[in-house]
Homo-oligomer: A and B are copies of this chain.
């Protein structure tokens, strides 16, 4: 072995090291001023940023990348920004007139809340796609839907006992921000400014109601919707983190949308959990088989994927339902994805803002058609087909679509009993001007579709394993609640199952 070989290996090791740990891009003067104070005051976020790609690569270098490896989708970025790292000032001083929280701070007009429109400076395509994402509209879709508001009130309102019934005082801003809108996003508003003492003398700060929040549909102080930091945690803004399933878990963990739990109980989740320390979560584009061996949430729903020949398998999208034909959670029945991300415009045949009626009929005008569904299914299946042959994929889909029909059929029975209970006046539903969610028996009904049918469908969709979908918030519990609905009704009508009036031995 020649010394040259030693040198070669050493250079390789050094090169890797330098690339991975040490490279930094030049920092603007403004950003350097920020760092001078904040690296001691807020070491957590400064160090996070230092290890981010934003600190290592200038937009000019990023723009020079061609093809699928390019991460910056904007065609033009100002000369000034191109030549420096994407630092504090490059984000927190952008478009100062647009942000209501802009204040003078150390000689700069800075704003606290960075919005998708700021990020769009470099990532315009992603911002545009995201704006068409239902998630971007998550605030309004919840806050401006009368049925959801009844559900919300019965969960997070303050309970009060009046005339043998629980009534709910609507939740205030703090409860909302701590509960539903933690994920959906809050409406940020500047309620004033305050002056605080600091080591550098008096400083002015905005007072922002709804803050802190990183919900997916946050209404920002420049009017934009969403928070990129919901998935790309500040201040690393790491593609690695967004590609791992833990990010999605923040909002998709409960029985209402058990994606994470189902995933980690699936074959895919098993392979991820056991082997992911050997995978590359930073590669762009993401090569199936080479960079990873099993999909994460991002693989199927978002990422730009290629095969080992460099051929495109799936385009990147930040409109999450681009690869989804059905919506399988959150509503009474499964249904085709809504056409528009603003779902408050939907009306079912009863005039309610729901994609189906209580009998399961679709509000077709507001939902994507069969052709669009087929196209989206094929986009998703292209991902599956990079590891599975067509018989496997078809077999999987056949089971999945069957399970959607079966769970809908079960929910129809649950709803039939619930409607009967309402009709008999044993509970007060919409027909009597009440809320369909504020009595014990109504919770039993909402459990069936909000939790259990839902979990069964997720287990099926994600090949999530029989045990989870059967026994962990799944088919068993769905069956239990339906049996409980009829048991509750029978007791109050004096009937026994299967008999009109069976004698009871005391």
Complex Cα–Cα for A67 and B238 (A): 35
B-binding segment of A25-33, A115-123, A162-170: A162-170
* Contacting residues, chain B, for A495 (C-beta < 8 A): 164, 506
- In the complex, the answer to whether B42 meets A256 with C-beta atoms within 8 Å is no
Say whether, besides A179-B466, A246-B274, A253 and B472 are in contact (CB < 8 Å): yes
In the complex, the answer to whether B466 meets A181 with C-beta atoms within 8 Å is yes
Contact in complex: A467, B257 (CB < 8 Å): yes
Q: Is the CB of B502 within 8 A of A425?
A: yes
With A and B bound together, what is the CA distance between A396 and B174 in angstroms?
9
Contact with A289, one of B45, B253, B386, B447 (Cβ below 8 angstroms): B45
Within 8 A of B (CB), among A187-230: 196, 205-208, 211-212, 214-215
Q: A164-B486, A425-B504, A482-B166 known; A155 and B470 CB under 8 Å? A: yes
> Which residues of chain B have C-beta atoms less than 8 A from A250's C-beta?
265-267, 270, 465, 467
> Is A492 part of the binding interface, using a Cβ–Cβ cutoff of 8 Å?
yes
Q: B40, A309: Cβ atoms under 8 Å?
A: yes
Inter-chain contacts of A236 with B (CB < 8 A): 275, 293
Given the interface contacts A161-B486, A475-B179, A480-B440, does A425 sit within 8 Å of B503 by beta carbon?
yes
Q: A244 within 8 Å of B by Cβ?
A: yes
| Residues of B close to A163: CB separation below 8 A | 497-499
Is the beta-carbon distance between B211 and A47 smaller than 8 angstroms?
no
In the complex, are the beta carbons of B413 and A166 less than 8 A apart? yes
**A251 beta carbon closer than 8 Å to chain B:** yes
Can you list 12 A-B pairs with a CB-CB distance of less than 8 A? A6-B6, A43-B308, A43-B386, A44-B386, A159-B409, A166-B486, A177-B399, A254-B472, A440-B483, A440-B484, A441-B487, A451-B471
Q: A43-B290, A112-B391 are in contact. List 12 more A-B contacts (CB 8 A).
A: A6-B6, A46-B308, A164-B489, A178-B466, A205-B390, A212-B396, A423-B505, A424-B505, A425-B503, A440-B487, A442-B483, A443-B484
